[in-house]
A and B are shown apart, each in its own frame.
Chain A
Amino acid sequence: MRWAAALGAALLAGSGCDCTGGGGSAAARQAVFVYARGADAVTLDPQKIDDGESVLVAANLFEGLVRYAEEGVALEPALATRWERSSDGLRWTFELRSGVRFHDGEPFDAEAVAYTFRRILDPQHPQHDAEILNEALYADIAAVEVLDPHRVRFRLRRPVAPELFLGNLAVYTAFIVPPRALARDPVGFGRRPVGTGPFILERWQADQRIELRANPQYWGGAPAIERAVVLAIKENSSRRQLLESGQVHAIDGVNPVDVERLRGLPGVEVLVEPGMSVGYLAFNCRRPPLDRPEVRRALALAIDREAIVRLNFHGLAAPAVQITPPSVLPPPAGAAPPRRDLAQARRLLAGAGLAPEALRFTLWAMPNPRPYLPEPKKTAQLIQDQLGELGVRCEIVTYPWDVYLNKTRQGEHDLCLLGWTADVADPDNFLFVFFHSANRGGTNFSFFSDAALDERLVAAQLEGDPAARRRSYLEIEARLRELVPLVPLVHPQQLGAQRAGLRGLRLHPTGRKLFHRVQFAEP
């Protein structure tokens, strides 16, 4: 309840600053955009971010050299205006936007770019520490050279595919930070971030709200709204009530079950957009009999994705045709999710000399909801029932989240539920991450290892021709349908809601919500 009092203060903080003196006039209040989500940001130091709530705010404060277009996952210039790849693919030269300043006045230049990447990559860098995440995305960068204040050159170790290299630069980890501000207060920077983006952080009241002010100097034009307030309100029903009563203009974390009801409300619009995530069931390929592809195929044939979509997501998810979400890698035309086929599953098991009734597995389910599987326990129960119809018995196992990850990383499971929300809109961010043998014990929860596939995954990283690269990922997907190290279950939709008449807020496939174009309809 205290947030409601905070909210009142937040709204008027907005109107108080438009210098009309009285404050609280209807027009003034319209300039404040209020967004509510389920939890507070953790840190706004881009290089240390690893949760969606932090990304949501940071993406409005910071920018990278490149960014995703408003629609789809194509890349476009941001802080870099143009770039050039050398013919051997080992040198990338970026021309930087001139006249851009950080919110504190520090100029944005090639030094800032070099500083940002050295901080990520160099363990000896004074502002590098263990909390910097996602270094692996930039491991191919050998050096970042300042050519002049507005040109910077990246030297690569391998000729990485252009869209993969540029895609990594669009990730929040590669948001450019100001060297002086960061060196002044490396620990405090995460609470008092300074970027180049369309909004400036004004106030952060922990676990309650973050207030942003429009950056009038923004190179892309000042935002239409004067202020954005991002509230942390844990319970979905509270967020929904605030939206209904108009105290909040947009929310996320809408429950699939509530969509129907929200659609019926006057003045409320539901936002549904595809995302970049997958919820899956991994087989531990090191444990017999799961080391045999025909056994894994048989079990996969018993899974009914449609039932999971219907019962866990109320239809607001796509049953997975392949591992990579269609927003990142469109499947071949006419491809449909594999059909459930118990008879075929029995034949496969019989061929392997196994009676389904003799099979017993542990089925691990996360203790807490994750964006890609909001009701893991229930999904596990559905899968338990579905395998049960084949005659295979599963015991559902669950542990606290950190213990769960620890134990599954050590391969203690037979079957485990997990998933992934990609940072980069690239198939590599799914297929290499899940299946390269080097990632066993990390992100390869199937403990899958196949030398031929490893080779193809690495080759695809280096394929310079985008069309050929897409083809090779589709071939890898086809091969994985035979090997089935894991069963992709669903690609959930992103769900949000806003007041009718609000314009310019979009749910981007990457999960970003940019406030730059947000505006209220003319009364």
Chain B
Amino acid sequence: MRAGGRRLGILLRSPQGMMGLLLVGALVLAAVAAPELAPHDPHLSRPAHALAPPGGSFPLGTDALGQDIASRVLWGARVSIAIALGAVAVAALVGVPVGAVAGWVGGWLEGLLMRLVDVMMALPSIVLALTITAVLGRGIDNVILAVGLAEAPRFARQMRAAVLELKARDFVLASRALGAGALRLVVLHVLPGALPPLIVIATLGLGTAVLDAAGLGFLGLGAEPGTPEWGTMLSDNVDYLRDYPWICLYPGLAIALSVLGFNLLGDGVQKALDPRQSP
């Protein structure tokens, strides 16, 4: 408990960690309070007010359908957080067991699993993700799956490395000798030790997930058209972005600040969890 408090302190004292927490906090606030904060219904289109510049009752202007951009950006925070959390959960749920099994069991199974990881890592994550959504179709669920699978290999690699390292330690060898079950050992001893780097990967993974989901949306391979997702907001209005810059400016800014927040937080968390390694 005290260690946890100290780590939080380190996180808060570093300017990056502080900034990251602030940005991520703002994002979470926007996501949670979107219904209260948003001035309008994000889906309501008012053709009479299409392409209105920022100002008046539309603080950030409207898009080609006359939907309020401010409201959509706020609701977009909810979509982005949902996608990011979902994707990292998928990545962890797939990657951690794969890495753990590969590291613990070893042998041909390890070879097979790690070759599979190699296959997935042989493509840039956005290419892998867009191949998946191209096949499965658009939609938030598919984006979560695609981005999550694209991130899973990092978890698998990290987990495997952690398992290999801890497997050789005395207390694990001793417990094994005493006949402790593999699952029990991994969960009780290996996982806690492997957790700090996994948390760093997860935090940074949230940023990557926001970025990749927005990229998919921008390519028209992300959330369903009409969804208030930041990248999809751009692709839905692709013909208007260059003439009505506010349509492009604010969703993009939201993506950039969110990713920046997660990256800063990731840096901060890394420092807090491993104070030795400071640049």
Contacts and interface: CB of A to CB of B under 8 A. Distances in A.
A/B contact in complex, CB under 8 angstroms: yes
Given A257-B51, A378-B65, A367 B45 contact: no
A398 interface: yes
A310 B47 contact: yes
A378 B65 CA distance: 9
Nearest to B65: A378
Contact of B239 (A235, A367, A377, A399): A235
B137 A237 contact: no
B138 A236 contact: no
A208 interface: no
A68 to B, nearest CB: 31
A163 B240 CA distance: 43
Contact of B50 (A237, A257, A377): A257
Q: Per DSSP, are chain A's interface residues mostly helix, strand or loop, or mixed?
A: helix
A398 B64 contact: no
Contacts, number: 35
Interface string A381-420: 1000000000000000011100100000000000000000
Contacts of A449: none
A233 B164 CA distance: 54
A255 interface: yes
B64 A367 contact: no
A88 B19 CA distance: 87
Q: Per DSSP, are chain B's interface residues mostly helix, strand or loop, or mixed?
A: loop
B240 A377 contact: no
Interface string B41-66: 00001010011000000000000110
Contacts of B50: 257
B170 interface: no
A311 interface: yes
B169 interface: no
A257 B239 CA distance: 11
Contacts of B138: 367, 400
Given A235-B238, A367-B138, A378-B65, A398 B47 contact: no
30 contacts: A236-B239, A237-B239, A237-B240, A237-B241, A237-B242, A237-B243, A238-B242, A241-B242, A255-B239, A257-B50, A257-B51, A257-B64, A310-B47, A311-B45, A311-B47, A314-B47, A367-B138, A367-B225, A375-B65, A377-B224, A377-B225, A377-B226, A378-B65, A378-B226, A381-B45, A398-B224, A399-B137, A400-B137, A400-B138, A403-B137
Interface of A: 235-238, 241, 255, 257, 310-311, 314, 367, 375, 377-378, 381, 398-400, 403
When A and B form their complex, which 8 residue pairs have the shortest distance between CB atoms, in order from nearest? A236-B239, A400-B137, A311-B47, A237-B242, A377-B226, A377-B225, A237-B239, A237-B243
